Amino acid sequence: MAQYVLALILALSSFGQGDGTTGRTLKGNVPAAGLKSIDVRGKVGSIAITPSTGSEVRYSVRLTAKTEWHFFGRKTGRPDLLDLRQDRNAEALTLDLSGDRDNIEEEWVLEVPESFAARVTMDVGKIRVSGIRGGCDARMDVGDVDVRVPEGSVSAENDVGDIRVHTDTASYGNVDLHSDVGKVYVMLDGHDVDRKRAPGAGDSLRLNGPGRDRIRARTDVGSVNLRIR
């Protein structure tokens, strides 16, 4: 009997992995005149922000349904019931989704003017921000955060996952890096910053720079990698 139950569970799990192929893409563009920042609010999936060559914000989000199996049934996401919410408040543009986002994978792709600042939040997945100069604030529960910018302050935080920050700024200010369980690595002008690490599972490093661009990265479990120039 136990073997029969185990076989049934494995069969249901395999079937669920191939199901949920329904998808939908929402896209649009917004004139960037009067805007200075973008706020993107994801849930499960990925967010990628790169600089644009034009004077507008271009965005798309690919929604893919996933199926969650239980002993007594299943639940499949419904991308067709989700709508994109676009709010403009003074100099900030916020992009979000409204509706039931359970069992939906979101793939956000955005192009914004290089001068923009970005605030990005996601529950589970991956965040990647590159090429913008106005600053970046990235927050995630579980997943990796990757920020590569020419300048601007950076704040990156997650519960579980690696954080990588690469900045070419010539004016770095205070640096605050910390991992509760994991290592912190810093490269400054092509050289590793050597230091004596405290005993224990965690690691931290602080630098007091004279410049304007502050860098902060904190994770509960994962590594923190910072490269300046």
Is residue 11 situated within a structural domain?
A: no
Query: What pLDDT sits at residue 110?
Result: 98
> What residue type is 59 in one-letter code?
Y
* C-alpha–C-alpha distance, residues 172 and 219, integer Å: 21
Is residue 12 situated within a structural domain?
A: no
DSSP E strand stretches across 15-153: 23-31, 37-41, 44-51, 56-65, 67-70, 73-76, 83-89, 92-98, 104-112, 117-130, 136-149
* Collapsed DSSP state (helix, strand, coil) of residue 15: helix
Percent of the chain with pLDDT over 70: 91
Is residue 141 situated within a structural domain?
A: yes
Q: How confident is the model at residue 199 (pLDDT cuts 50, 70, 90)?
A: confident
Is residue 25 situated within a structural domain?
A: yes
* Collapsed DSSP state (helix, strand, coil) of residue 213: strand
Is residue 15 situated within a structural domain?
A: no
Closest CA to 20 of 62, 64, 61: 64
Q: How far is CA 47 from CA 9, 42, 62, 66, 213, in A?
A: 33, 7, 11, 18, 23
Total of domains in the chain: 1
Q: What is the domain range of residue 174? A: 20-228
pLDDT, tens only, 114-142: 999 999 999 999 999 999 999 999 999 99
Query: What pLDDT sits at residue 94?
Result: 98
Check residues 74 and 206 and name the one with the higher pLDDT.
Answer: 206
Is residue 210 situated within a structural domain?
A: yes
Altogether, the residues listed in the chain come to a count of 229
Is residue 124 situated within a structural domain?
A: yes
pLDDT, tens only, 139-156: 999 999 999 999 999 999
* Spatial contact of 42 and 122, defined as CB atoms under 8 Å apart: yes
CB hemisphere CA count around 218 (13 angstroms): 7
Is residue 2 situated within a structural domain?
A: no
pTM surpassing 0.85? yes
